[in-house]
Amino acid sequence: MKEQRTNTALLVMDMQEQMLKGLPQGGPLIERTAKAISDARNNGVPVIYVIVGFRKGTPEISSRNKTFSARAAFLREQDMEQWMKIEPQLAPAENEAVVVKRRYSAFTGSDLEVLLRGMNIHHLVLSGVVTSGVVLSTLREAADKDFQLTVLSDACLDRDPEVHTFLMEKIFPQQAEVTTVEAWINSKQENQPA
């Protein structure tokens, strides 16, 4: 990876091997995300990985949290080290940060905000699964924290394609630029001095 030359970071969120198994179109998603990661590394854009994970016994999961408490029994049975394993084709480089979160948003229960301040990051480029989970929650919280935002629409995936399309076309453009991996790569190349 080249030295950081930008105030932009690519967030690769919840691209965990176990989470990608059940998603349709996982293969093409991994390929596009790998392309975004490679381009970021080649252009001095830091890549930060965000994963969801819990301590043994999932003490972080409250019975009052409807979504996570419904999955608590399943999660308690998981080998958390295996559960948190990032898809090997997208594996972080030795010097890239991996942030562990405890809820949908990449900020909740993690040190992401401190890391971004320390790296002087002002612009987040979002990728991940699922669109209606980590991507939506992170986008909303990051917007409230005044980050400039870009969403790589084809480096995100949801279990429900209609929800994905609705968020990308109707909701996300209110707070972020929505683009494709290819267009994001090309826009950086166009902005480089000749």
Give the sign of the dihedral formed by CA 46, CA 167, CA 100, CA 111: positive
Please answer whether residues 147 and 124 qualify as being in contact, where contact means their C-beta atoms are separated by less than 8 angstroms: yes
User: And the tokens for 165?
Assistant: 């399309």
Q: Does domain 8-190 have CATH number 3.40.50.850?
A: yes
Structural domain boundaries in the chain: 8-190
Q: Per-residue pLDDT tens, the chain, 194 aa: give them.
A: 466 778 999 999 999 998 898 787 889 999 999 999 999 999 999 999 999 987 787 767 778 877 777 777 777 777 778 878 999 999 999 999 999 999 899 999 999 999 999 999 999 999 999 999 999 999 999 999 999 999 999 999 999 999 999 999 999 999 999 999 999 999 976 665 44
Q: Find the helix packing angle between 181-190 and 26-42, rounded to 10°.
A: 20
Residue found by looking up tokens 């958390």 in the block: 80
Give the sign of the dihedral formed by CA 22, CA 26, CA 30, CA 36: negative
CA distances from 104 to 20, 58, 164, 182, 193 (A): 16, 15, 16, 27, 39
For residue 20, the cross-strand partners are none
